[in-house]
Amino acid sequence: MLQFTDIQTAALRLEGVAHRTPILTSQTLNAMLGCEVFMKAENFQRMGAFKFRGGYNAINALTDAERARGVFAFSSGNHAQAVALAARLHGCKATILMPADAPQMKLDATRGYGAEVITYDRYRQDRSALAKQLSEERNAVLIPPYDYLPVMAGQGTCGLEIAEEIADLDALIVCTGGGGFLSGCTVAAKAVQPAIKVFGAEPEAGNDVQRSLRSGQIVSIDVPKTICDGQQTQAVGAHPWEVIHTMVSDILTAADATVIDAMRFAFERMKLVLEPSGACALAALMENRAAFAGQRVAVTLSGGNIDFGRFSALLQTRA
């Protein structure tokens, strides 16, 4: 199981490499939701999302011999970019398996960081099995996007920064797909502030982690149809699940329409650009505001990798 010392080690590796992203507040949002909200702006992280933390820590933790073999990852976009950039910084080759329908800007950015991209059909092919096969054929080190302890530890440094910088938090809401970010932030935040309650946030159409937590076992679903492309996972990872089912208070969900409302608020009132998955935690707070009335709540704004056309089109649907 992920340990707090793993996250502390990751923080040392990331010091001076990853950005220590700002924590933002809005009096307008506080009044609207009836609680004090602190937003960790990971959209300002290198490559535009929290995923850089885990990707860099994972590659930095490898031996020189392992890095010489090259790395292989699979991702809908942000882990892809994170591993591609981290590999470039370490001078090693990266090959990334990405869905053919991934946002074009994420495909372009991954290639722009120097990685070779292989595409697949996310609705017909098992990406984990395909990645295992292809990485073995290339003798490359496989770096999964969430079910991998070094990645989880790297992501947890975000939760560590939140808990260190904001005293006396009642709750922390973290977006979740495969659970690496949520589990890492949970271990870190509860180590620093034991009384804090941690909640996951996922799109309403893809509530596999919520169903898993409430049933007490991992539940797998079909690929969810949601605008939150970074959260189209089918099941929580085994290593994240070890943390989530013992330490996370609950999993909240948000409808795609509320995710767009959160994106619009962040853009219009705070001048922030968020991708749908990046706004999911804020959207979940918006939908569950009554449960957090009067509390001090931190939320992760987990990424901002979205092109202008899609961003504009999504906001217009809620005009």
Catalytic-residue membership of 51: yes
Pair 106, 81: CB distance under 8 Å: yes
Catalytic-residue membership of 312: no
What is the CA 152 to chain-centroid distance, rounded?
10
Which position among 75, 76, 183, 302 bears the catalytic label? Answer: 76
Pair 131, 106: CB distance under 8 Å: no
Which position among 51, 106, 190, 197 bears the catalytic label? Answer: 51
Pair 171, 158: CB distance under 8 Å: no
Neighbours of 12 (CB within 10 A): 10
CA distances to 98, 121, 141, 157 from 125, rounded to whole Å, are: 11, 6, 21, 32
Coil, helix or strand at residue 293: coil
Assigned token pair, 175: 């977006």
Residues 44 and 161: their CA atoms lie apart, in Å, by: 14
Q: Which residues pair with 171 in a beta bridge?
A: 197, 297
Side chain identity at residue 259, one-letter code = V
Assigned token pair, 22: 């700002």
Which element (helix H / strand E) includes 198? strand 197-203
Q: Which residues pair with 95 in a beta bridge?
A: 72, 116
Q: What angle do CA 284, 286, 289 make, to 5 degrees?
A: 100
Assigned token pair, 55: 């990707």
Contacts 24+ apart (CB under 8 A), 129-138: 130/74, 130/97, 131/72, 131/73, 131/74, 131/97, 134/72, 134/95, 134/97, 135/72, 135/95, 138/70, 138/72, 138/95
What is the CA 283 to chain-centroid distance, rounded?
15
Q: Which residues are catalytic?
A: 51, 76
